[in-house]
Amino acid sequence: MCQLLGMNCNTPTDIIFSFEGFRRRGGLTDEHSDGWGIAFFEGEGCRLFLDYLPSISSPVADLVRAYPIKSTNVIAHIRKATQGQINLANTHPFGRELWGQYWIFAHNGNLSDLPSLEQGRFLPVGSTDSEHAYCWILNQLAERFQSPPSFAALRDTLKELSSTLAQHGTFNFLLSNGQVMFAHCSTKLHYLVRQAPFCHAHLSDTDLAVDFSRETQPSDRVAMIATEPLTDNENWTAMQSGQLIMLIDGTIQP
């Protein structure tokens, strides 16, 4: 299937270290070579880099590695196609505007017999189950809330909607509007919060380490979410099936 990478933090942070390990799974250390994408929120704006080339050999991935974009919310995805051709329209993350906010979504899993989108205002451009599910969620949110609800109300609604969609297959996903990030686990998703005292971290996919104590301020808090742990010397927490977490400023909300 695919792999997900998310970052949510309280101060704009670059994702170069983690991305270096993650991109290797797109054709080098793993088989997810059917395209990739990454979205960086900067304020209310968002940059979305997409490529249908494998992330290990993509010139766009070289740029992302070389250009330290600082962001408080990042969602990345490397694809192993299950439904839909390998092309740009089927490349995650997907983006839409709702309530005057950009919402970015990426999915790992495979869904079938999804509910119809006939009455909704959001429609998929490509042919993946993922974009169909994403549009269904946005249609439900748009129907229930005329303006942005509280984060708590949003979480409750997303929990209900995710639970409905998870009945149609595997539904691990990340969703963010640049302020808040939601992570839903159906089968596999791990998270980690980096905060003071910061320590060394070593990537699982290549022999690269970083000393975060030299790169950070004591007040920094960075939450990472990944399908598989990205480092081999930090304590990643495995999410439970059916669990939805909400992250704001690098903190998992109680």
* Minimum distance from residue 1 beta carbon to a second copy (Å): 20
* Minimum distance from residue 235 beta carbon to a second copy (Å): 34
Per annotation, catalytic residue among 2, 9, 46, 135: 2
Does the active-site annotation cover 2?
yes
Nearer to a second copy, 38 or 244 (CB): 38
Nearer to a second copy, 42 or 228 (CB): 42
* Minimum distance from residue 241 beta carbon to a second copy (Å): 31
Nearer to a second copy, 126 or 169 (CB): 126
Tell me if 109 sits within 8 A of 79, measured CB to CB: no
* Minimum distance from residue 37 beta carbon to a second copy (Å): 9
Write out the residues near a second copy by the rule CB under 8 A.
42-51, 59-60, 63, 66-67, 87-91, 95-97, 99-102, 121-126, 142
Known catalytic residues?
A: 2
